[in-house]
Structure 1
Amino acid sequence: MKEEILFSLKDISFSYKNKKVLRHLNLNIERGDFTGIIGPNGSGKSTLIRIMAGFLTPEEGTVLFKGKDIKKYHVKDLARDIAVLPQSMDVFYPYKVEEFISIARYPHLQRGISGAEKNSDFIAFIMEIMEISHLKDRRITELSQGEAQRVFIAQCIVQDPIIILLDEPVSHFDIKYQMKTLEILDSFNKEGMTVVIVLHDLNLASEFCKKVVLISEGSIYKEGEPCEILTYENIEEVYKTVVVVKENPLSGKPYIVPISRRYL
């Protein structure tokens, strides 16, 4: 049975200050996907996420969400279905952490979908698994960068979307919270939440993503399962660096080892 296509990007192009960032890009995201967007700095990954979120309008092409032009949706309808975590978040109002996270329930409360007790329990559960319960009465403006990022991710999950778009969500984390965050996202993906995530760490993309999309110079170089895409030929061609690709002995997934040119 063919999965429902949530996002269909057709012939997308976009420029910043006359510099072409995306070039005639075509991409489908199916319901239930856990898709990693990978590629060198400046290849267009963040722009792609912002276009999917509706933050940017492509100069060419069409973005369809559930078969309908994303521009024709009301913002509240999109907020119910799509959660977005951009590469950087600036919060200037000193919300308490629990209050800030609870804002994500607003689109559902407006439609009477969830009662206050259910919301409270769900928020408490997500704060617990993200290990931020002890921060609930702290002001978000007082948190460290890593603590704030965990709060932002918790807010996205509390929104209970059908798809979550994340741009480098674990870049500020140590290895413990990188793994923990991706394991949490993986568990929600198994329950039906679709995940699209920009990752710089190719080994994390290999371990957690069902599909990876390798972007080079604003176009999709290749897409497919990690074992198909994360080959030394593809990585060396796109990243212009030397690697060795091995097999993770536990997962069987590709494991990438960068090689210094000093040894060549």
Structure 2
Amino acid sequence: MDNATNLTPPRQQPRIYQFKQLLPWLIPIALILLWQVAGSLNWLSTTLLPTPWSVFQDGVSLWRAGELPKNLGISLYRALMGFALGASIGFFFGMLNGLSKTARGLFDSTIQMLRNIPHLSLIPVVIILFGIGETAKISLVTVGVMFPIYINTFHGITSVDPELIEMGQAYGLSPKALLTKIVFPGALPTILVGVRYALGVMWTTLIVAETISSNSGIGYMATNAQEFMNMKTVLLCIVIYALLGKASDLIAKLLEAICLDWQVKRSR
């Protein structure tokens, strides 16, 4: 019976796995090929929409000149610093307000009011306070990242099954043990959803921040290229942001797989 229920032959399983790995890339590759063919056959104006191959060549030349790696490194620094600060602040207040009703009454309403202000509308305030240097750009990313982390951490902590907490108390677990063995593991899936969402907000905010009175970064490259109608570099910057966003999402998925491995094992 066991052999009969296994409808997929063992030899086909690696092929099926490889196909599933390639499946998410089929549509992007097809669109790039269609774009290349349309440009090569002059169906599209290559002045307004250069072909993928010409964009790739532009990237290679900028990399060899040192301009691309320099600006890419600066953008990564701004993104990672802003994410680290915003995630730390959001996680701290999410945990604090989730665990303490007193802190919740004191801080939550204020945080919710601030959360409903579009953080990109704070650009004039940030420029007045911090100028147009690195602090202003990192501050914008910090504010954008903070609220998704806060909301998901707060929701995760307050959504832990009360019966699990009561069971832990019945077994005599200390408050610290309750937090580390029941509350935090129970909230972790929701917290990681916030991390994944915050990574997307991080890049969106950075794009805008780097187009305002900036002289470095991928956003600056795009703005500078736009002024000279250099569409190759503009499209290159868009592709770089897309790849960075995809890489961030893959990292978030990997983090979920590592941190939530216990859920998979329990389901087995």
TM range (shorter): under 0.3
| TM value normalised by structure 2 | 0.21
Q: Determine which structure has the larger helix proportion and give its number.
A: 2
Q: Determine which structure has the larger strand proportion and give its number.
A: 1
Flag the structure with larger Rg. 2
